[in-house]
Amino acid sequence: MNVQIMLFEGFDLLDVVAPYEVFSAANQFTEEEIDVRFVSVDGGGDVLSGINDFPFKVEGKLDASKKGIVLVPGSSGSMVDGEADSIPMKLKKASETEMGDFIRNAVNDPEMTVTSVCGGSLLIAMTGSIEGRNVVTHHMGMDLLSATGANAVNARVVDDGDIISGAGVTSGLDLAIYVVERELGPRIAYEVEQLFQYEKRGIVWKNEGALPMGYNSSKRNDEELTVTETHESHPLQEEIEGTWEVTISTPIGEIDVTYELEIKDNKLIGIAVTDGDQSELEKTEAIGNRLKWKQQVKKPMKINLNFDVSINGTTLEGQAKAGMISSKLKGSKVFNKGAV
C-alpha cells in the first residue's frame, strides 16, 4: 500500500506526523508492505512547516503512478485575514502549484483514495474538487468549507468513499487508524491502537444507513431572508439603480466585479459580471441604503459569499463573508439606470 503525505510551505506538523506514525506502525503487523513517504512538488530538500518554520525533510516527489493513499494536511499560521502568513493564503498558494493539479487528478483516479486532516479539506476545495462531497475540517473552517459547495459534516472522521477527511489537528490519528482498518482490517488497526495506547474517537460518518428520525436534510446554515411585499416604491430606488464597479478584497486575492442593480416591485434585482461570467444575485434584500445578497464567485476560488453593503451617494462599501472569512468590498457608481 502506497501512502503519499504531501508537504507544502506552512503545513501543520501534527497533521502529517501522526498519520505517518500510524501507517509506519501498521507496517509491523501486516505482510503487505506499506510504503509511506513525505512528498512535495519538487521532491527534494526541506519544506518549512507553519510551526516556527521547522524544516522537514522530503523523501520524494508527488508520483501519480504510485496508486493508493494520498494525504493532504492543513496549515499553521495567522488567523488574521489578508496576512501573507494567514492559513487561507498558505492553503491557496499550495493549491495553485502542481500540487493542485495532482489533487484534482487523484480525486478522479479510481485507484486513488484522497484523505485530509484539518484544513487539508479546504485545500482540496480550493482546487474545485469536492463540490457536493461529504467532508469535514477544523471547526473554525466549517462555514468556509460549506461556502465552497461541499457538504460539511460535523464529525470526527467522514468517509465519502474515495475521499476521507478528518476534523481538527489531532483527528489525524483517528483518520489514519480508520484508513488502516478499512484497507487492512480491524485486527491490524486494533494492534496499532494497542501499541499507541490510543482508541479511535467517535463514529466515522458515512452517507448510508437509515435516516435519523427528525432529521431535516434541507436544513440550511445561512439565514433565510424574509422580504415583506409592499407596493410602495423604495425611497432610494434612483440612488441604487445603475451600474456599479466594485473590487472585493479577499484574504487570497482581489475580485473585480460589475453589478447591474435595479429595484423591481420594491425588491432588489441584480446581475454580477466577472471576467465575462454572469450570475444573478440570490436572496436579495434592500432596507434603506443597506443591501444584502448571496452570490457565487469563481475567482480566486469557487465560493458562495454573503454580502452586506451600504450605499452612500455614488459609493458602495461593505463586506462579503464566507464563514469566518470576511472580505472587504468597495466600489462606485458609473452609470445610472438607462444612461447611455
Q: Does a structural domain hold residue 73? A: yes
Who contacts 231 (Cβ-Cβ below 8 Å, separation ≥6)? 265, 266
Whether residues 176 and 245 fall in one domain: no
Whether residues 58 and 145 fall in one domain: yes
| pLDDT tens-place values along the chain, 340 residues long | 999 999 999 999 999 999 999 999 999 999 999 999 999 999 989 999 999 999 999 999 999 999 999 999 999 988 766 677 889 889 999 999 999 999 999 999 999 999 999 999 999 999 999 999 999 999 989 988 998 889 999 999 999 999 999 999 899 999 999 999 999 999 999 999 999 999 999 999 999 999 888 765 434 444 443 444 444 667 889 899 999 999 998 777 788 999 999 998 888 999 999 888 888 999 999 988 999 999 988 877 788 889 999 999 999 999 998 876 778 999 999 988 665 4
Other Cβ atoms less than 10 A from the Cβ of 303: the count is 25
C-alpha cell, 168:
481538527
Q: Which sign does the torsion angle of CA 175, 180, 183, 187 carry?
A: negative
Q: How confident is the model at residue 226, as a pLDDT?
A: 42
Q: Is the pTM of this model over 0.85?
A: no
Whether residues 177 and 311 fall in one domain: no
- Report the C-alpha gap between 222 and 319 in whole angstroms: 16
Whether residues 186 and 268 fall in one domain: no
Q: How confident is the model at residue 89, as a pLDDT?
A: 87
Q: Which of 188, 206, 224 delimits the end of a domain?
A: 206
Quote the radius of gyration of the chain (alpha carbons, Å): 23
Q: At what angle do helices 87-95 and 98-107 cross, to 10 degrees?
A: 70
| CB-based burial label for 31 (10 Å; 0-12, 13-18, 19+) | exposed
Q: Does a structural domain hold residue 220? A: no
Whether residues 282 and 184 fall in one domain: no
**What is the number of residues in the chain?**
340
Three-state helix/strand/coil letters over the chain: CEEEEECCCCECHHHHHHHHHHHHHHCCCCCCCCEEEEEECCCCCEEECCCCCCEEECCEECCCCCCEEEEECCECCECCCCCCCEHHHHHHHHHCCHHHHHHHHHHCCCCEEEEECCCHHHHHHHCCCCCCCEECCCHHHHHHHHHCCCEECCCCEEECCCEEEECCCCHHHHHHHHHHHHHHCHHHHHHHHHHHCCCCCCCEEECCCCCCCCCCCCCCCCCCCCCCCCCCCCCCHHHHCEEEEEEEEECCEEEEEEEEEEEECCEEEEEEEECCEEEECEEEEEECCEEEEEEEECCCCCEEEEEEEEEECCEEEEEEEECCEEEEEEEEEEEECCCC
Other Cβ atoms less than 10 A from the Cβ of 209: the count is 6
Ramachandran area for residue 266 (φ above 0: left; ψ -120 to 50: alpha; else beta): left
Question: Contact 54/48 with Cβ under 8 angstroms?
Answer: yes
- Report the C-alpha gap between 91 and 10 in whole angstroms: 8
Q: Does a structural domain hold residue 111? A: yes
CATH number of the domain at 37, please: 3.40.50.880
Q: Does a structural domain hold residue 224? A: no
Question: Contact 189/180 with Cβ under 8 angstroms?
Answer: yes
Q: How confident is the model at residue 219, as a pLDDT?
A: 42
Q: Does a structural domain hold residue 226? A: no
Q: How confident is the model at residue 340, as a pLDDT?
A: 41
Q: How confident is the model at residue 216, as a pLDDT?
A: 58
Whether residues 116 and 254 fall in one domain: no
Whether residues 201 and 292 fall in one domain: no
- Report the C-alpha gap between 37 and 45 in whole angstroms: 14
Q: Does a structural domain hold residue 219? A: no
Total domains in the fold of the chain: 2
Q: Does a structural domain hold residue 274? A: yes
CATH number of the domain at 292, please: 2.40.128.120
Per the structure, the complete domain to which residue 311 belongs is given by 237-336
Other Cβ atoms less than 10 A from the Cβ of 121: the count is 33
Whether residues 246 and 200 fall in one domain: no
What's the gap between Cα 205 and its chain centre? 19
Q: How confident is the model at residue 339, as a pLDDT?
A: 53
Q: Does a structural domain hold residue 137? A: yes
Whether residues 197 and 248 fall in one domain: no
